[in-house]
Amino acid sequence: RTASINAEYMGLFQYSSYHIRRNELQYKSSFTSASITLRNTQNLLNLEEPLYLATDETSPEFFAAIEKTHKVYRWKDFESVLKEQSFDKKLIGMIEQVICAGGRRFFGTRLSTFSGYIYRLRGYINAPDLNQYAHTVYYTGDPRIDEKSVLEYGAPDHYMNEDPTMWGSIICC
């Protein structure tokens, strides 16, 4: 219910969302600046499209480059709306996963199980774009080129990639 308030405020599939892990992730190759994240993903965003960022970044200025071109929402932006809701604060991460799943497009952090579950949730709800984008990968906006950046599934060294067969057989409509 709490996540639906946020998605309702922005509109289901009317925003793009990101999970940008910045602190305790062991895979340092997943770390990048906000300006590089924007450069990598801007060809897949709509002009002035609102963005939701689920992040553990503590510096409010870190995302300034993205905020110059898009309205950016984070958890703190909804705290005043949610103060009337009663929920366990331990659920915030799971609520943010649902909010991210409700985006038109989602850009995750490679090798993150948090992002992995968002990809799976998007499959369960049949989101409009089920590609598994990463904010650390450059996308041209041309599907013929960008499909070469698609994650691989099934190989032993790709066990952390979310496999679409987890949701493909249950999509009914």
pLDDT > 70? residue 172: no
- Alpha carbons 21 and 112: distance in angstroms, whole number: 8
Mean pLDDT of 144-149: 82
Question: Higher-confidence residue: 6 or 102?
Answer: 102
Mean pLDDT of 19-48: 85
Mean pLDDT of 52-76: 93
pTM: 0.88
Q: Which residue blocks in 16-171 are alpha helix, DSSP H? A: 34-41, 64-67, 79-82, 92-101, 113-124, 143-146, 165-168
pLDDT > 60? residue 170: yes
Question: Higher-confidence residue: 172 or 68?
Answer: 68
Give the pLDDT band (50/70/90) at residue 150. low
User: Quick check: 140 and 146 in contact, CB under 8 A?
Assistant: yes
pLDDT > 70: what percent of the chain?
83
- Alpha carbons 74 and 38: distance in angstroms, whole number: 16
pLDDT > 90? residue 46: yes
